[in-house]
Amino acid sequence: MNPILFKFYDQLRKFPNHYILYSNKQKYTIKDIENFSNNIANRIHKVVETYIPFYIKNDSFLLPVILGILKANKIPIPLNTALNLGESQKQISDLNYNIIITDDDNFIDNINLLIIDHFILGQEKLTFNISNYNDITYCIMTSGTTGTPKKILLTGDNLCGILNEYYNIIELSVESKVLMMTPATFDVSLSEILAPVFTGAKLICFGTIASDINKKIRHTLEYIKQYSVTNVFLAPAFANLVFSMGDKNNFKSLSTVSIAGEKFPLSLKKLLKNRLDTNKTKVFNLYGPAETTLFATYYRLSFKENDDIPIGRPFKNVLLLSEKGDNNDIELYIGGIGVSRGYTDKNITENYFKEIDGIIYYKTGDYVYINHNEDFVFKCRKDSQIKLNGVRIELDSIDDKLAEFSLVKEVKTIYHNEKIYSFIVLHNNNDKNQQKIKETIKNTFPKNYAIRVRFINKLPLTTNRKIDINRLKISCNSTLSVMEKSSDIKEIITNILNKSFEALTIRELDSLDLVRFFLEIERKFNIIIPDNSIVSLKNMDNLIDFIICQNDNLDAQNDFKNICYKVDLENLKTIFEIITKFKGISKDTLYIQKNYFEKDYHSVLFFDISLDEKILIRLGKLFDVLSKNFDITKLLIDKHHGNVYFRYVECLDPIIFYSTNILKEHDISKLMFTSNTSPLFFVNISETEGVARFYFSHAIIDKYKLYRLGEIIRSYLYEQKEIKVSSNYIKFIEFIKTQSKQNSHYLQECIPITKHTIPDLHSHGLLFEFEIDNKMNSLDLTILSIYFISKIYFKENKQVNTLTGSLIENIDEFDGFDSINTIGDMHSTIPYFINRCEHLTSFSEKIYHLVNLYAKGISIREMIFENYPNLSKNNSEYKKLWEKMNFSVNYIGEIKNLDSELTALTNDNYSSKYLIIMTKGKNVFIYTPRGIELSNEYHIDNHLIKVSKIQMDNTIKRGEK
């Protein structure tokens, strides 16, 4: 049997005629509750679905309704009576149910209603036997607002474990009288509703006025006095209202006051001290998320507290664990008897509940600290979930509801300075539409939300197309300061009118005085008033707005832009920090990634997409495709213990970051490499600039594949070509490593031995230039360039017979691996050597042989750096040979402007080994930082190669030795 029902039947057996429920001058015995609940159970026990929602305004019906649902072996779930039934029903759109129990006679299409319009008396027995009970005893929603809130599943053991302890703490007994103060959607209401079941205490209900919070508050003092109430539970805001209305005589019957639901303010402590006999009445501050069943900690006030009121120490069989987070804040984890079964959505449950040492803990999202008395003290919540008047509200669900209104284009709701603000962009922003929205909000949301509406033309966006919270807080503050300014300005204007013109309003002034008045306003506020504005500024409100706007000068706007940019960077940093905590599977990288991070090569690559409304719509679908088809969007990179790994995070979707302006490349390169774990990809969108910038760490993609991915994305967005390709970079890495390991015998054959080093003057770089008659592929062009440079060096260094190096080649097709559409850094670094007497043909054949070897997945570099940094003795020797090679050759492609490319190359501080090849039409340019002395020109195989110096100031000295 359900343990709640066991408690009830125990009370029924002991005190069947004991009065336990009072309402509207009526009183009901335990036997009456038994009959009423049996009636309900008989009417619903054959219902197919397990969940039974109830929408009950008359709070005297709550106890029998809940007991009736439990007897039918169903799960009760309360609906929000502050909304109409239709709106409240939408909050459970994610649940399956057949019937709603209600005392509201409003009809709803396609839903069976069990309507209860009076307290059902008369003996009634169950028409069925109570079978094995459902372990889940109650379902409570996390939110008291609209939308689809999370649903928490509480067991009978959860409730019994917590309520037994709570009733012991407040010393509840059969003589106690508990006032039904909290709405059923607030989980703590169960501590009031079930008090008679556990202790035989009397439950004092408000009856038909229970759902009208204003009437309820007005009658609270009357009920406390009339019924000699001994125990009340109040949220701090309600407590302030209730105790402000009376004096000590009104509250002398109270033995305990329980406060929970929000932070306990010191001002309330002072109020309670004045209104209560604190020697007789005990005041408790209780704390606990609904996910851990009503309460987890308690603290009895001494009324000597000067700092934050503690939340105290844990209930019996409740475990507290403090987890240090960012900025040394301590997040409270709760385990033990009260930890619920989580949410109806198991995926969400996994995010909030954590197993530690075999015990399930709930991650509260609340920051706490421990005071000198070793009591826990609540500091703040770390997310946007708030509690207002004891009811937990999810701000996003307010947005969801407002977004349903056809007049609304965009909306974001925030909680600031203990107030809810909704910032709304209308499709057509005018006074008429604004008034419609205000009326709709008034009729849709509970009054106690007191939503403050701000109509604005454009929302400052940050991540995931959400409003930037920090900037909106600035906006809230500025709005408040404008209001304050308005009052001050109005006082100044009124003084000018009274003292200088003996007038009460601007419209009283004649034409001459009007001119003098505005001249005085200009002087007083240091502004200029255009002549064509004077007519409209005869209105006091218009003049005040004009003065405020004029004082928002350009410097202030620029300062605000700078603040916004810094806030954007901080927000992105926070997102990165959150992302880096995602759990994933560790995957090995290629050596190139290890090398980048070892050398702090903090480089990012990007391409831009121009935006319009159609492109913005397709962008959302694009991100889904990227997440499914390209595994590099799900990779993080980890550095630890001197090694570098990828972390594959299956649940990671592309990071989409909205900012007012596109964030700068150098800021992103710093941000992506500030910690040992880094995201490798994100999209920065600025609707102000009309640009979406796809940022990648150079560690995950090379320019060749970046261009390829950019073409795929542009075709999807602009030409509406579906993305059918799929890329798995991790499998490519595994393929290369496996092939290289299985063919390690090639290592000795392919690694060249470098016998001579080439001197470097360091004072300048060199630029080689020649022309080609026919278009060449990148590999042939690289081979030809290496051949010419080698021949020049052989000519100038008679003692050198062999030169060595490595060249970078983008191999598209691999034998045994479908790599055509693989996106990632796939370029191959191929070692080579060239002899003094070698001809171009034989050198070319040798390189192509190596390329064909690499096309089988064999990488000499991966062989050498296997298990890096823990290399074998042999591989350490091969590493020395690799690093000793004369040249590192890379063809970077076609360029537009040689001078700008050279400036970029010299600023990048390439090592002296590099030969950077680039083309512009038929002209081939080779840049090297190595400044040896060479002739102005060379003739090799019927080609003229010109040589120029590149000075340290990036200027080109052509034809100069």
Helices (H) and strands (E) in the chain, counts: 28, 42
pLDDT at 916 over 90: yes
DSSP alpha helices (H): ranges in 72-194?
Answer: 85-89, 156-169, 189-193
User: Which 3 state secondary structure label does DSSP give 9?
Assistant: helix
Map 661-715 to HEC letters: CCCCHHHHHHHCCCCCEEECEEEEEECCCCEEEEEEECCCCCHHHHHHHHHHHHH
Reported as a single tens digit per residue, the pLDDT across 578-623 is 888 888 999 999 999 888 887 777 789 999 988 877 787 788 889 8
pLDDT at 58 over 80: yes
For residues 457 and 439, give the distance between their C-alpha atoms in angstroms, rounded to a whole number. Answer: 20
pLDDT at 925: 96
For residues 637 and 701, give the distance between their C-alpha atoms in angstroms, rounded to a whole number. Answer: 13
pLDDT at 759: 72
User: How would residue 173 be classed by pLDDT, with cut points 50, 70 and 90?
Assistant: very high
Q: Greater confidence, 374 or 556? A: 374
User: How would residue 554 be classed by pLDDT, with cut points 50, 70 and 90?
Assistant: very low
Q: Greater confidence, 560 or 91? A: 91
Whether 475-552 and 557-727 share one fold: the answer is no
pLDDT at 328: 63
Tokens of residue 265, six digits? 């303010």
Label residue 247 exposed, middle or buried (CB < 10 Å: 0-12, 13-18, 19+): exposed
pLDDT at 203: 97
CB-CB contact of 864 with 875 (8 Å): yes
pLDDT at 531: 65
For residues 944 and 658, give the distance between their C-alpha atoms in angstroms, rounded to a whole number. Answer: 52
Q: Answer left, alpha or beta for residue 377, where phi above 0 means left and psi between -120 and 50 means alpha.
A: beta
User: How would residue 81 be classed by pLDDT, with cut points 50, 70 and 90?
Assistant: confident
- Other C-beta atoms within 10 Å of 244: how many? 10
Reported as a single tens digit per residue, the pLDDT across 247-299 is 888 899 999 999 998 778 777 888 899 999 999 999 999 999 999 999 999 99
Question: Judging by DSSP bridges, how do beta strands 359-370 and 330-336 pair with one another?
Answer: antiparallel
pLDDT at 695: 95
Reported as a single tens digit per residue, the pLDDT across 784-800 is 999 999 999 999 888 89
User: How would residue 102 be classed by pLDDT, with cut points 50, 70 and 90?
Assistant: very high
For residues 953 and 776, give the distance between their C-alpha atoms in angstroms, rounded to a whole number. Answer: 33
How far CA 169 is from CA of 173, 268, 285, in Å, comes to 11, 21, 12
Print burial letters for 922-943: b (CB count within 10 Å at least 16), e (below 16). Answer: eebbbbbbbbbebeeebebeeb
pLDDT at 762 over 80: no
User: How would residue 392 be classed by pLDDT, with cut points 50, 70 and 90?
Assistant: low
CB-CB contact of 461 with 467 (8 Å): yes
pLDDT at 481: 41
Lowest mean pLDDT among 98-107, 382-391, 493-502, 886-895: 382-391
Who contacts 444 (Cβ-Cβ below 8 Å, separation ≥6)?
A: 83, 87, 146, 401
User: How would residue 5 be classed by pLDDT, with cut points 50, 70 and 90?
Assistant: very high
Reported as a single tens digit per residue, the pLDDT across 809-833 is 988 889 988 888 899 999 899 999 9
User: Which 3 state secondary structure label does DSSP give 920?
Assistant: strand
Tokens of residue 210, six digits? 């229970």
Out of 3.90.1150.10, 3.40.367.20, 3.30.70.250, 3.30.559.10, which CATH number does the structure's domain 557-727 have?
3.30.559.10
- Please check whether the domain covering 3-300 is classified as CATH 3.90.1150.10: no
pLDDT at 905: 84
Percent of the chain with pLDDT over 90: 45
Query: What class has domain 734-958?
Result: alpha beta
CB-CB contact of 528 with 522 (8 Å): yes
Query: What class has domain 475-552?
Result: mainly alpha
User: Which 3 state secondary structure label does DSSP give 290?
Assistant: helix
Radius of gyration of the chain (CA): 37
Dihedral angle computed from the Cα positions of residues 393, 399, 400 and 406, in that order, rounded to the nearest 10 degrees: 140
| Eight-state DSSP code of residue 467 | B
CA of residue 930 relative to chain centroid, distance: 49
Q: Provide the β-strand partners of residue 100.
A: 113
Reported as a single tens digit per residue, the pLDDT across 206-220 is 988 887 766 787 788
CB-CB contact of 654 with 627 (8 Å): yes
pLDDT at 696 over 90: yes
CB-CB contact of 259 with 283 (8 Å): yes
**Rounded mean pLDDT, 171-185:** 93
Reported as a single tens digit per residue, the pLDDT across 462-516 is 322 234 566 777 666 554 444 445 666 887 888 888 888 888 888 888 777 887 8
User: How would residue 553 be classed by pLDDT, with cut points 50, 70 and 90?
Assistant: very low
The H-or-E segment that residue 8 falls in is: helix 3-14
pLDDT at 571: 85
pLDDT at 542 over 90: no
**Rounded mean pLDDT, 224-232:** 94
For the ranges 356-360, 434-438, 526-530, the maximum mean pLDDT occurs at 356-360
pLDDT at 461: 39
Strands, E assignment, 580-680 = 585-588, 604-610, 635-640, 643-648, 656-658, 677-679
For residues 475 and 480, give the distance between their C-alpha atoms in angstroms, rounded to a whole number. Answer: 9
* Domain boundaries of the chain, sorted by first residue: 3-300, 475-552, 557-727, 734-958
Model's pTM, two decimal places? 0.47
- Reference 138, options 124, 118, 108, 158; nearest CA is 158
Reported as a single tens digit per residue, the pLDDT across 181-212 is 988 988 999 999 999 999 999 999 998 888 77
For residues 415 and 419, give the distance between their C-alpha atoms in angstroms, rounded to a whole number. Answer: 6
pLDDT at 539: 80
**Rounded mean pLDDT, 769-787:** 93
- Average predicted confidence (pLDDT) for the chain: 85
Q: Provide the β-strand partners of residue 887.
A: 805
Reported as a single tens digit per residue, the pLDDT across 645-659 is 999 999 888 888 888
- What is the DSSP secondary-structure string of 810-822? ----BTTB--TT-
pLDDT at 53: 96
pLDDT at 417 over 80: no
User: How would residue 549 be classed by pLDDT, with cut points 50, 70 and 90?
Assistant: low
For residues 872 and 874, give the distance between their C-alpha atoms in angstroms, rounded to a whole number. Answer: 5
